[in-house]
A = this chain, B = another copy of it.
Amino acid sequence: MTDTGRGRKTLVVGGARSGKSRHAQSLAERAGGDMVFIATAQAFDGEMRDRIARHRADRDQRWRTVEAPVDLARAIAAADAPDATIFVDCLTLWASNLLLGEHDVDRHLREVEQTLAGARGRVLLVTNEVGWGIVPDNALARRFRDIAGRINQAIAARADEVILMVAGIATTIKESARD
């Protein structure tokens, strides 16, 4: 099974500034094909706008960018094709958008799981670990940790491959053989 395997799902997980997006992007660009970048980020403020613009400048011109702050399942389904390479960045911002927009997390997560199960393209998803600090003071932050952790577990369970990033170093922590 090569890295470019169609239908293969890879989750890249790690802390902030651990090199997650860069690693997932390099795997995606190696896979090639019809490359779709699905951004879950919303540009609420200048800091986030700068970050989005910087990330966009980092990607090469082969990428088509789609914004999907909430309807991630629909965006993945729309981009999916046997020749597609889909790069979702990132599940943690999606979790945050679901929480702050008071969307039904269970339903949205279930739809993404189903879409991934049926996807024919190569899919790479990036997510943050956010639960390794002390318990946050405020209840909203605790709910966010719960939701983000739940999403990470669900997607990791369905991924063929899970890669942990620490200081830019990739370690494969799950690897499923596929036919």
A residues contacting B by CB (< 8 A) are 11, 13, 15-19, 47, 127, 129-136, 139, 141-142, 144-146, 148-150, 152-157, 162, 164, 166-169, 171, 173-174
A152 CB, min distance to chain B CBs, angstroms: 4
Please tell me which one of the listed residues B134, B146, B152, B157 contacts residue A130 in the complex, with CB atoms under 8 A apart.
B134
Please tell me which one of the listed residues B135, B153, B169 contacts residue A174 in the complex, with CB atoms under 8 A apart.
B169
B134 to A152, Cβ gap below 8 A?
no
Q: Top 6 A-B pairs ranked by shortest CB distance?
A: A17-B149, A133-B133, A16-B131, A132-B132, A153-B168, A15-B131
B167 to A127, Cβ gap below 8 A?
yes
- Distance, CA A168 to CA B151, complexed state (A): 10
A18 to B145, Cβ gap below 8 A?
no
What's the number of copies of this chain in the assembled complex? 3
Please tell me which one of the listed residues B127, B129, B146, B156 contacts residue A132 in the complex, with CB atoms under 8 A apart.
B129
A156 to B167, Cβ gap below 8 A?
yes
Given A13-B167, A168-B157, A173-B166, is A134 in contact with B127 using a C-beta cutoff of 8 Å?
Answer: no
Which residues in B have their C-beta under 8 angstroms from that of A135? Answer: 16, 130
Given A132-B132, A141-B134, A166-B164, is A153 in contact with B15 using a C-beta cutoff of 8 Å?
Answer: no
Q: What are 20 A-B contacts defined by CB distance under 8 Å? A: A13-B167, A15-B131, A15-B149, A16-B131, A16-B132, A17-B131, A17-B145, A17-B153, A18-B153, A127-B167, A129-B167, A132-B132, A133-B136, A134-B144, A134-B145, A149-B167, A153-B168, A156-B169, A162-B166, A171-B173
